[in-house]
Structure 1
């Protein structure tokens, strides 16, 4: 009787522990809560790539650094629109701008010698180079020189001359000779049929003296732009060697 009673108590105790084990295994507090995954790793809330790092909104290189709008060099400094290099102003020395390279007549046959010989003081403002020309008669009986830009440009090609600043009213220079009395023609421009589109001659021609005299070629009514022939002279009828001087040739 006592043995049966203890057996029942033992079964009852085992049943109680079994039930408790089942209850403990099903305790909701021991299971992972559904909200844990949503809070810890909600890719939509925590790391929305679209809002946090949209390269289109945050760093549109097109809007931030359009180099075309910010620094268009063609608008800022086009020398073509300005017309003339900023360093070119009037008065403009003929020597150093145009070159005395267009030898004509006997000058093209080695009948001319050009020496940079100056008197002291130089006449006028002394711009450019002083010239001592010695002309010795050859087969053609006359000689002359054009100051050309660029060197060797005779105004019959598409090669542009020198772009002279606006506002020049005259080409001035000083001339004289060793003996005095010689006649010399002075001029500027190749003529209306050249790329210069004009020619201006000193009229009447200069009759040189032994002392420097200032001469003026009036270009106040001439429309010029690219000028290939910036200055020139010619002389003929001299059987004996003829020595004369030119200095301070300038556009002003």
Structure 2
């Protein structure tokens, strides 16, 4: 066991340096080593924070598995380290999951230092229902895999959040329309930066999205648009998704009833209790 060693999982600014927390700044300044997705980019961040002389080791999606032995060897010496991605919260579609898992299995203390997160930032500003939501990270490149992913998560009735490259944005929105039907969406780009922008619309109008958009893009697709009374199957799907919250049945029932047509909170509550008995 190596509980005297700590891996700090540090969230860093998406673009606005003012979003760095005092705790994150202190951890980065005091850590014996920093594992960084891109050492050059992290080097610029440290320079902006007036932190110098830090040792860094690259840790990205292509070398994470190979780095694990080196990571654990560092902690075996009783030293601490910080893990950062290029921007935002590590592991949120960025490298780090395998290292965090290996550290916990090795007895290294893992401590998250929360802060900026693109999915949460997008949800807080786009105006679409924020919960329940499903975060898909970067979508697979193959159309068939992407379609299966949309169909699997679209049936839950939750808001869907994912990252997308600007070169594939229109193609992806088109596929989302074919897979999910017409739903509201928001293209959230350049979050926290000077040119931050939220572009809201409906999936049926995917062709109207500009191909000239620049910057980092987070996409939010809202839940199904209510078209008449919800079916019993729809209600059960929403119940299954909501029950993961751990809230009381009456709270879940009231929340679902606010989202659908043709169902009172009392009627939904009966379905919630029925589901709990059968599960």
Q: Scaled by the length of structure 1, what TM-score is found?
A: 0.23
Between the two structures, name the one with larger relative contact order (CA 8 Å, sep ≥ 6). 1
Give the TM-score taking structure 2 as reference length: 0.22
Q: Rg larger in 1 or in 2? A: 1
More helix by share: 2
